[in-house]
Amino acid sequence: MSLRAAITGVHGYVPDYVLTNAELERMVETNDEWITTRTGIKERRILKGESQGTSVLATEAVRGLLEKTGTSPKDIDLVICATVTPDYMFPSTANLVCTNLGIPSICSFDLLAACSGFIYALTTGAQFIESGRYKKVIVIGADKMSSIIDYEDRTTCVLFGDGAGAVLLEPTTENLGVIDFMLHSDGSGGDYLMMKGGGSVYPASHETVDKRMHFIKQEGPQVFKFAVTNMADAAAAIMERNNLTGDDVEWLVPHQANKRIIDATAKRMGIGEEKVMLNIQKYGNTTAGTIPLCLFDYEKQLKKGDDLVLAAFGGGFTWGAMYVRWAI
Ligand code: UT7
């Protein structure tokens, strides 16, 4: 049988500081009832302190992953970090994580696909394993969203939090691991969810700062409309292609942007809420971090051979779904 990429370890990290809905009520005109009913979020984690970037979150997630899998840094072949909040434009956050952990001179890079970043990166990492080229690949989803949030904008500041998760991929000849994927993008939706400043069109200037262009801007209802349709469509399509019914799927692992989008996806797949991984209530939307953090949170409930559908939608637009059979 051909090689598949199995997830052989998962770990996550969130910073200590808890930003509650009550605290947000004191910062902007909002309330717990609105946030809870519209999104499902109760609190989120924030990385505080000077000179603390996404690599801090990612490093802790990978440190735990190496420890619990008994993996030596020198045996890692590739590190991919999905993020929209890299420490710097360059060097990449993946490079910094490798240096922090003594992972020597290997191929490492960042990948940007916003909230779909982790499934894009997991798919990419899996290709290197399936080709036989690499034996141990680390895929990280990490974002310090608080670094690009305008805490005067109530339409976005209640939604996002900071966090990271990471998985180890290794080859298997068993029928486990990444079985199928479907990834999509549509740049015509880019304007609905973006950070305009800081790139090559609007490099940082006094004007971009004055116009608050280094923060996320989102047209929530527009994004909601596309997210609810495309995430559910992607999940349903991957099930159909693999002849899976709702009964066959043990877990939906959805991107955590809005509980209502997650519920719609589960309904479309024909699965009950007891099969849906959910941590939006305690972490909010951690962008590339949501899916690996879910896997980490639910790890103890997962059994070898469980069929998982991962589904995401995010800025870009980007979206997609993966069919993964749990290997641990
Ligand atoms: O992960 C990346 C992809 N992103 C997503 O998938 C997010 C998709 N969008 C959403 O999840 C939802 O659109 C939001 C949660 C962002 C917003 O929920 P909504 O039901 O679409 O609300 P809305 O934007 O239509 O706003 C409804 C009302 C407005 O007031 P008026 O115009 O009806 O008077 C807003 O000004 O709620 C108001 N509002 C708020 N009120 C209290 C907006 N934000 C807040 C707030 N607190 N934080």
Ligand 1 mean position, distance from CA 258 (Å): 10
Q: Taking the alpha carbons of 313, 97, 93, 216 in that order, is the dihedral positive or negative? A: positive
In testing the pocket of ligand 1, which one of 24, 31, 37, 38 has its CB within 8 Å of the most ligand atoms?
38
- The protein residue with its alpha carbon nearest to ligand 1, atom 16, reads 220
Q: Are 154 and 35 in contact (CB under 8 A)?
A: no
Ligand 1 mean position, distance from CA 4 (Å): 41
| The two three-digit tokens of residue 7, written as one number | 């997830």
| The two three-digit tokens of residue 275, written as one number | 């099969």
CB distance 257 to ligand 1 below 6 Å = yes
Q: How distant, in Å, are the alpha carbons of 225, 251, 260, 267 from that of 246?
A: 24, 10, 19, 9
Q: What is the pLDDT of residue 155?
A: 98
Distance CA(259)–CA(253), nearest Å, equals 12
DSSP string for 292-319:
HHHHHHTGGG--TT-EEEEEEEETTTEE
CB distance 121 to ligand 1 below 6 Å = no
Q: Are 317 and 232 in contact (CB under 8 A)?
A: no
Distance CA(8)–CA(176), nearest Å, equals 10
Ligand 1 mean position, distance from CA 156 (Å): 8
Q: What is the pLDDT of residue 1?
A: 65
Sheet holding 307-314, edge to edge: 177-185, 318-325, 307-314, 251-254
Q: How distant, in Å, are the alpha carbons of 69, 154, 155, 256, 274 from that of 263?
A: 33, 24, 21, 11, 11
CB distance 260 to ligand 1 below 6 Å = no
Distance CA(125)–CA(164), nearest Å, equals 17
Helix (H, G, I), strand (E, B) or coil at 175: coil
Side-chain-side CA neighbours of 284 within 13 Å: the count stands at 25
Cis peptide before 91 (omega within 30 of 0): yes
- Which atom from ligand 1 is nearest to the alpha carbon of 24? 48
CB distance 33 to ligand 1 below 6 Å = no
Taken in order of first residue, the domains within the chain and their CATH numbers are 4-175 (3.40.47.10), 179-325 (3.40.47.10)
The verdict on pTM exceeding 0.95 is yes
> Which residues partner with 147 through β-bridges?
none
Mean pLDDT by 10 residues, the chain (328 residues): 94 98 98 98 97 98 98 98 98 98 96 98 98 98 98 98 98 98 97 97 98 98 97 98 98 98 97 98 98 98 98 98 98
Ligand 1 mean position, distance from CA 224 (Å): 9
Q: Which residues are catalytic?
A: 115, 255, 285
Ligand 1 mean position, distance from CA 46 (Å): 21
CA 184 to chain centre: 16
Residue 123 parent element (H or E): helix 117-130
